[in-house]
Structure formats: structure tokens, C-alpha cells
Structure 1
């Protein structure tokens, strides 16, 4: 662990041939526990650790990662980073300075109630065996699974400007799903639509009764879907649950507001954005009910932290206020290039990746509506839950999403269950059709948001309410 590594001593031994330097050491332990159909399927533990050297030379940053964390190994990485920065400086797109790497001192720890080492592999396996047993509500249930991914990570960084930051994360992602079949028809229902109940928590998340209750409901709804009607093809009101709103926010707000997309840095891989620099302060992104924040300070949310990897302190900031686009998702480097305000979202996925602009916790703020009133106010609509499929263009403009489960709303009441519900739209028009936002919110996260070349898979969180939209095109399979 970082406590056994004297980064300050190593940093001081590297000399003063650069304008600035930082060492970022990362250790990570990942544990997988999976049960399928009441039988343990996967019990695996992986370890990863290494160190990233970052330097500033001639207005250009250079990086080199190494798994050799001896003093000589770090020195070789340092020399490589310096050489890279010197060569790249001849082609730099912007003249960077130490202003993009502020001095930071502090620490962060996930809000754990019960430490992970307080629960054994057997205890988790026994709970998951009972969970998959609870899903077997009918002979029509043909497959069941329960999975947990447990990640314990420590980031420790020091720099020549005086930074000394230690951040420890305890992350648990769980997924429960059941598949029902009859004839040629199969339907799968999960606990969260694949986006995961993924939080910064400890072993307290493995509450047996809560898991068994949710598992039984999953099985019942999977069977229910087999005989449900297809979602109608119609333009009508659309009510989205927080587990689907999570993906809607992620894809149609989070990604298009990333500054490196707007700058074109991601165009070869993850795509561009329909948002332009002049849109900030001018574009009515959604209705006046739409308030979106970047907030890495929410205690248990997946992407909470104290500092980003540049040393920028993490603070809550409005991205969209009363529907107006006011701020984008860009760290200090992108802010300098665009001359626009941003946020502390310059993040790397591990020791062997350089930081880039990433989402963290992107949240839709609560409204004033009660869920029952939102349903009662709808003459005809569809209430959709849990993402099943998604497609969105490279500019994050046109999209089409499918959900696992839905209820038809007729004359202010929930009536029959619908299967294969889908909806489509374009980002700005869709969000301007937002007509009600609930008071209560739920927190979800995704541990697998990919971006960057070479690819970086990073963790993002979303806290979202129930949302009602008008005049949305919905359709069946």
C-alpha cells in the first residue's frame, strides 16, 4: 500500500530538470462473487498496482506509467515522461502551465459503515444462493443470477508544487436478474437494468432480507412479461423511473457536455458533441424544470471524491439551471483551452492512464411533484423502468432507448403491464418536453463508462428523480 512507499523521497531524487512533476500511486483489489441458479459460479480476486509519473516541460505535459515502483523504476519512467513532453512540445495545441496543476493537500475515504473484511465469501455466496432461489417463482424461470463486484482502491499523489493527496474508495456493485421463457418468448428482468446498484459503501449493502425481497419481485415480473402486451407505437406522455433516468442523464447530458468532446479530442473514438462553445449561457437545453448538477460531494455516490487528478478541489456546480446550459464538464486543461468555466473532473481510471475530462456524479435535481400526482395527471402514457438497450449518435443528439418493463397509464391510473417498451427522440427537444420532476430521487452508478485512447473504463454516478415528458414517440419491439 502507499503507506509503505515514500513518494516524497522518490520525487526529491528525480532532480529539478522539469517545471513540475507529480507521482500518482494506485493500488486496487477487485473481488467478484457470482451465483447462477443456486450454484456458486465465480469467486475471483484480482490485484493491480503501479505508478504514473507526470511532468510539465516547455508548456507540455508528459506521462509514463510503470509497475516497477522501485526508485530506479520510477526514475526510468520519469526520464521517459520528460522525453515525451519535450518531443510533444514541438506540436503542442496549447501552452500549459503550473496553473493547471494547483497544489492540493487532503484525503478522502468512502463512507463505510461496515468494513468489507467483516463479511466472508461464504456469507455472500449463501445470500446469493438464497437470492437465486427466491427468483424461482415459477417453472417458467429458466435462468437466474446474482453478482457482486467489490473494489477497494487507493490513489496517493505528491507533486513538486506541494500536493499530498490520499483518497481511498470502497465500491460495491450488485446485479440480480432472472430470465423467464415460454415457447419462443423470453423476457429478462433485473434489479437495475444493468446500470447497477453501484455505490461507495461497505458490507452493509449485503442485507439479506432486502436482497431476497428484490429477488422475488424480479422473478415475478419476468414471468409477468411473458404474457404482457407489446408497448404500443404511439406519441404520448412518458414517465421514466430513476433507473432509466440514470442512462438518459448519462448519455444525453453527461457525454455531450464533456469539453474534450466539444474540442474534438474524442472524435476518433467516443465521438463529438452537438454542443458548441458559444452555447454556454445561451442554449435552452430543457424546460425550466430541468436543473442538473455536477456533484462529487454526495456521500455514497459512486464518483464522489475530494480532488480530481490535477489537484482541483471537487465542488458542486450547476451545469444546467432552469433549463439553461451554464457550465460544461472540463478540467483545468480544457478550461484553459476554451476559456470557459468547468469542474473538477480531470480523472484517470488507474495508474497506467493519463487523466482526461470525465463525468463524475451528474445529477438531475429534485422537483416538487409527487409520483402519484404525476401518474394521476397523465391521460395516456407509458411508465418505463430499467434500461435494456440504448443507441445514440456520435454527437449525442438522436437517441433510441429500450427498457425492461413498463406500465400503461390510462386516465390517471396504472393499468396493464407492457413488454419491449422503447422510446426515441433528440436531446434538446426531449428535455424541453420535461413537464414534471418528482420530489424523491434514487442513486445509481455505472462502473464501466468507456472513453479515451487508450481506453479508460471509469466509474460514474447519477442521482435522479422520476420524470414525466410530453409528446414522446414510444414503440414496441
Structure 2
């Protein structure tokens, strides 16, 4: 899928006719192909392909931005969208909260391509289906297995943007999200184990991700663990040390760090829909968010992570920045517009979900940096605790402060050793107290992602990535079903 050849010249030609009538303008073309492949209980269930493409026209008039999207890619269609964007900017400028300028839309030139070893067109639908049929067959480890599934979502996206300030950016993404799940049932109880707790193994990769041997091995193990959970004890209700695996740490980072640090939430722009934040502008440089082992970065430069890119949609170049350094909150998640409004440093995270949405502050790759501990040492140092993995449920308040998470699978830790399997494990806490109880961070990390982070009005479902280690917390409230 390559639309940048003749389209490149057309965009520049159309853009040139806007040059003298606005302070600034940008055309951003997005084309996307999405493929779904699903097998349930050894039978193909869903094979679906969809295409979407269009252009977002963005303008700056009277210190205010205006937007209009169109799927009519003709010159006349784009010019109609331009007129709508100008009218919107002029009308809204009478009520603007800030006087913006071209400083919030720097010139950007460059390209980005996902690191693909094997192109997606090198594998057929039949090959993927055959692997998935075998995966669900491998899950049939017991008569207690009542449901088995294997799913892939393959997204191939191309962004191409030009602006009157000289920007010329091409970014091409290859994204594969997979999930394998087995459910066991007996005596009125059902237990599910999935490959990643519902978040999906979602990366910027190619067809190399469909490795039959590793998929079959993972699938069988998940099924065995779902059966094992049926006879397991419930997680005890008490306060104890809590060791969390990277697949669950992904959601913990996402909900209790990523969202509360988004500047538009702090400004109150999101409070009517997705909520706001307990973090205040004065907290930056002062708030002890966590223990001195806590180091969190915004990093869209990790090669295979889901939300890596070269430039955000404002043209701001992407680079790694510390959000929390040695436990101290130092920087938030705000693009150039929010940075200007708050007079605080931010990051390159002005992003839109597609051609028909205006860019807003979004987290990208929010990562917990590795520590120095080995996983075996973290277990050995724990006299009594619980080791939880794979998210099952979550709840967090509008301020991103009080939370409760449930996991699929857990092991009791007794005298430095993993002992009993526990089912229905849950834990709860408040954000700052929880992160200040962090007592050990592993030296190795794993990368996960979510393609379904929702925010904004109208809603924007966008992709985010998280690379996280194993983390050990002290005196956390845990409980069973």
C-alpha cells in the first residue's frame, strides 16, 4: 500500500493555493488497511479486511486552529474542507483560551518506517489461519477446556503531511496485535488465561511475528494454566508484598502514570468525558510520585514498540524524555499547544487517531525504566507475598488516583519461593502511595501495547505502547474474588 507517489505532488499543489489566505495550513493524508483473522475452537471465525483513507485540513487563523476532514481527495473536495476549517477557526477565535502561533507548528521534514523483517504480504491468510487452527488445537489439553481462540489484527498505516511552513513528512507503520486465549470450566467455575491479559501483544512488526513453534508453545501453556486455576485457592485478603509481571505492569503504568500526566486532563479539557487528574501544574519538579527506584520515560524511538514515530502530528520531532526521575515528577505529557498554555515543558505527543480527528495530547510509549534486580532475587527476598500476572479487570477513578486491578493468574510467595497457584487475585491502592512502596525493579523488561486507548470528543481510539520490568511493592492490599 503506497499512496505517496502522485499524491505527494497533488498535496503540494493544493496546499500552495492556501498560502496567502491563512497564517498557516497543513494537509495530512492518512490511509489505513486493517485485517482481522480469528479462529475459535479450530474453526476459522473471522476473516475481514477494511480500508480507510482521507485528508485532514488544519489551519491557523487569528491565533486559533481550525480543522476539517474529508474523504473526497479531489482538489475541489480538499478546498471545500479548507473553507470549513477556516470558518471554524475564525468563529472559534472569538472564544480562544490562548493566542497560538506558528511556533506550535514547527517545520518538520523526514520519514519513519516500522522495523519489518518480513513484509506482511509475504504471508497468506491461509498460512495465518492454519497456524491459528493448530494453536487452538494445542489448547485442548483437557476436557475441562470449554473455549479456545486465536486472534490477529494487522494494521498497515501511511501518514503523509505537508504544511505552508515547509513540512514534508512521510510515516509508514506495520502493526500486528495477537491474542491467544483458553477458558476452562468445572463445577460452576470458569477461569481464563490469555496471552496478555486482554491487552494483546501489540508491536510494530511484520509477518515474522507468526512463528508457529512459539505460538503453539504459548497456547498450550495458557490452556494448562486455565485448568490449573480451577482447583486453585482464592487469593487471600490481606496486606503483603506484591510482585507484578510486565503484562500487568503495562496497565498499571498506563492508568496510573500515563493518563494522569496528560496535560489536557490537567487543564480540564477532558473532564467531561475521560476525566481529569489529581496532578496539578505546581506538582512538576516537586511531587514525589514514587520511590527513588521509579524512572519513567516517554520514548517514541523504541524500534518495535507500538507507538514509535519520528514526528507527532504538530511536526514536533519525537525524542526520549524523562517524566519521572528517581521518583520525582519532572515533566508531563503535553504537546506544543498545551505547553504554551501551561508554560511547562512537554513532549512530542500531539496525535490524532486518523484523518477525521484533530490531534490532541496522547500518551505514546510510556515506559518504566529497568532496575538492577534479577527476578529470582526479588522472589528470594520476599518472605510472604503474591506474584500476579495478566490483567483481568480494572477500575480507577476520574482523577486517576484510587484504583483496583484484577489479574488472571497468581502464585503465592512463601519464604522466598513460589508455592501455591492462586485464582481471582486482586489488588488496590492509591497512585502516589502505591508507587512510593516500590522496593525492587528487575533488570529485564518486556514490551506490550494497547490498540484501544480511548479519549477525546468525538472519541479517538489510539495506539499506545509500554515497556515495563517486573516490580516488587511492599505492603499492598490484596484480596480474592
Q: TM-score range by the shorter chain?
A: over 0.9
Contact 1:314–1:344 under 8 Å retained in 2 = yes
Matches within 5 A, 1:44-443: 44-443=48-447
Compared CA separation, residues 282 and 15, structure 1 to 2 (3 A): closer
Contact 1:402–1:420 under 8 Å retained in 2 = yes
> Post-superposition shift, 1:16?
1.3
> Post-superposition shift, 1:4?
2.9
> Per the alignment, in what secondary structure is the counterpart of residue 327 of structure 1?
coil
> Post-superposition shift, 1:408?
0.2
TM-score by length of 1: 1.00
> Post-superposition shift, 1:205?
0.1
What residue number does 2:5 align with?
A: 3
Query: Aligned residue pairs: how many?
Result: 477
**C-alpha distance in 2, partners of 1:269/1:247?**
20
> Per the alignment, in what secondary structure is the counterpart of residue 271 of structure 2?
coil
Contact 1:441–1:465 under 8 Å retained in 2 = yes
Calculate the aligned-residue CA RMSD, in Å. Answer: 0.4
Q: Deviations over 1:345-396 (max 9, x none)?
A: 0000000000000000000000000000000000100000000000000000
> Per the alignment, in what secondary structure is the counterpart of residue 416 of structure 1?
strand
Contact 2:18–2:25 under 8 Å retained in 1 = no
Contact 2:277–2:398 under 8 Å retained in 1 = yes
**C-alpha distance in 1, partners of 2:361/2:139?**
40
Contact 1:2–1:25 under 8 Å retained in 2 = no
TM-score by length of 2: 0.99
Contact 2:448–2:467 under 8 Å retained in 1 = yes
What residue number does 2:468 align with?
A: 464
What residue number does 1:454 align with?
A: 458
> Post-superposition shift, 1:15?
4.5
Contact 1:251–1:396 under 8 Å retained in 2 = yes
> Per the alignment, in what secondary structure is the counterpart of residue 128 of structure 1?
helix
> Post-superposition shift, 1:119?
0.2
> Post-superposition shift, 1:227?
0.4
> Per the alignment, in what secondary structure is the counterpart of residue 258 of structure 2?
helix
Query: Runs of 4 or more off by more than 4 Å in structure 1?
Result: none
What residue number does 2:30 align with?
A: 26
**C-alpha distance in 1, partners of 2:245/2:409?**
10
**C-alpha distance in 1, partners of 2:440/2:345?**
29
Contact 1:193–1:387 under 8 Å retained in 2 = yes
**C-alpha distance in 2, partners of 1:349/1:7?**
20
**C-alpha distance in 2, partners of 1:162/1:141?**
59
Contact 2:67–2:358 under 8 Å retained in 1 = yes
> Per the alignment, in what secondary structure is the counterpart of residue 310 of structure 1?
coil
Consecutive unaligned residues in structure 2, runs of 5 or more: none
**C-alpha distance in 2, partners of 1:189/1:46?**
29
> Post-superposition shift, 1:14?
2.9
> Post-superposition shift, 1:13?
2.3
**C-alpha distance in 2, partners of 1:397/1:176?**
32
Contact 1:197–1:444 under 8 Å retained in 2 = yes
Consecutive unaligned residues in structure 1, runs of 5 or more: none
